[in-house]
Structure 1
Amino acid sequence: MTGTDKPGLAIGLRILSGVLFAGMLVCVKAVSADVPLGEIVFYRSAFALIPLVVFLWIRREFPGGLATKRPVAHLLRASFGALAMFASFAAIARLNVAEATLIAQLSPILMALAAVVFLSERLTRWRVGGLALGFAGVVILVWPELGGRAPDAARLAGFAIGLLGAALTAFALIMVRSLNRTESPGAIAFYFALASMIGGLLTLPWGWITPDIWTLTLLIGAGLFGGFAHIAMTLAFRYAEASRIAPFEYVALLWPVLADLLIFNVALSTSFLFALPLVLGGAALAAAEKGPRTRKA
Structure 2
Amino acid sequence: MTARSSLEAPLHPVRNERLGIALRVLSTLAFAMMGVCVKALGDAVPLGQVVFFRSAVALLPLIAFLWWRGEWPRGLATSRPMGHVGRCLMGAVAMFTSFATIRLLPLAEATMLAYLAPVMLALLGWALLGERPSAGRIGGVVLGLAGAAAFCLPAFAGALPDTGALGVVLGLVTAALTAGALIQVRRLTLLGEGAGAIAFWFAVVSALIGLATLPWGWVWPGPATLLLLIGTGLAGGIAHILMTLSFSHADASALAPFEYLSVLWAVALGFAFFAELPGLAFLLAGPLILTGAFIARPAKPK
Whether the TM-score (by the shorter chain) exceeds 0.5 is yes
Q: Does 1:162 align with 2:158?
A: no
Residue equivalent to 1:81:
91
Whether the aligned pair in 1 keeps the contact of 2:122 and 2:141 (CA below 8 Å) is no
Displacement after TM superposition at 1:286 (Å): 1.4
Structure 2 residue aligned with 1:173, among 168, 182, 204?
182
CA distance in 1, matches of 2:158, 2:238: 41
- Residues 53 and 207 of structure 2 are in contact (CA less than 8 Å); yes or no, is this contact kept in structure 1? yes
TM-score by length of 2: 0.90
Deviation at 1:124, TM superposition (A): 3.6
Give the drift of 1:148.
4.8
Structural mapping, 1:82-161, within 5 Å: 82-148=92-158, 151-161=160-170
Q: Find 1:270's aligned residue among 266, 280, 283.
A: 280
- Correspondences of 1:132-281 after superposition (within 5 Å): 132-148=142-158, 151-181=160-190, 182-281=192-291
Q: Given residue 139 of structure 1, which amino acid in structure 2 is its aligned partner?
A: A
Post-superposition Cα deviations, 1:234-262, rounded to whole Å, max 9, x if no partner, equal 11122222222111111221111111111
Which residue of 23, 27, 31 maps to 1:17?
A: 27
CA contact (8 A) 2:111 2:262 kept: no
Tell me, in whole angstroms, the C-alpha distance in 2 between the residues paired with 1:135 and 1:210: 42
- Between the aligned partners of 1:75 and 1:97, the Cα distance in structure 2 is 30
Q: Percent identity?
A: 49
Task: Tell me the amino acid that sits aligned with residue 18 of structure 1.
Answer: T
**Shift, 1:4, TM fit:** 3.6
Is the 8 Å Cα contact of residues 48 and 213 (structure 2) preserved in structure 1?
yes
Alpha-carbon distance in 2 for matches of 1:144, 1:107: 21
> Following the alignment from structure 2 to structure 1, what is the Cα–Cα distance between the partners of residues 39 and 277?
16
Among 57, 73, 78, which residue is 1:68 paired with?
78
SS at match of 2:274: coil
Structure 1 regions of 5+ residues with no counterpart?
291-297
Counterpart of 2:146, as a letter, is A
| Partner Cα distance (1:3, 1:145) in 2 | 50
Change (3 A) 1:167 1:146: closer
Using a 3 Å threshold, how does the CA distance of structure 1 residues 179 and 239 change in structure 2: closer, same or farther?
farther
Count of residue pairs brought into register by the alignment: 289
Within 5 A, what are the aligned runs for 1:28-43?
28-43=38-53
Secondary structure of the residue aligned to 2:43 is coil
Other structure's SS at 2:260 match: helix
Once the two structures are TM-superposed, the CA of residue 178 in structure 1 deviates from its matched residue by: 2.2
Quick check: 1:97–1:260 contact (8 Å CA) kept in 2? yes
The answer on whether the counterparts of 2:104 and 2:167 sit within 8 Å (CA) in structure 1 is yes
Which AA in structure 1 matches 2:82?
A: V
Structure 1 residue corresponding to 2:55, chosen from 45, 58, 64: 45
Worse-matched range after superposition: 67-76 or 87-96:
67-76
| Cα offset, 1:23, TM superposition | 0.7
Greater CA drift, 68-77 or 189-198: 68-77
Following the alignment from structure 2 to structure 1, what is the Cα–Cα distance between the partners of residues 101 and 139? Answer: 26
Task: Supply the distance in 2 between the matched residues of 1:185 and 1:148 (Cα, whole angstroms).
Answer: 43
Cα RMSD over matched residues? Answer: 1.9
- Which residue does 2:6 correspond to in 1? none
Deviation at 1:127, TM superposition (A): 3.2
* Distance (whole Å) between structure 2 residues aligned to residue 50 and residue 146 of structure 1: 42
Judge conservation of contact 2:41–2:228 (CA < 8 Å) in 1: yes
Following the alignment from structure 1 to structure 2, what is the Cα–Cα distance between the partners of residues 129 and 178?
Answer: 25
Q: Distance in 1 between matches of 2:253 and 2:262?
A: 16
Q: Comparing 244-253 with 273-282, which one deviates more in the overlay?
A: 244-253
Tell me, yes or no, if the aligned pair for 2:155 and 2:168 is still in contact at 8 Å. no
Quote how far apart the aligned CAs of 1:128 are.
Answer: 3.1
Query: How far off its partner does 1:147 sit?
Result: 4.1
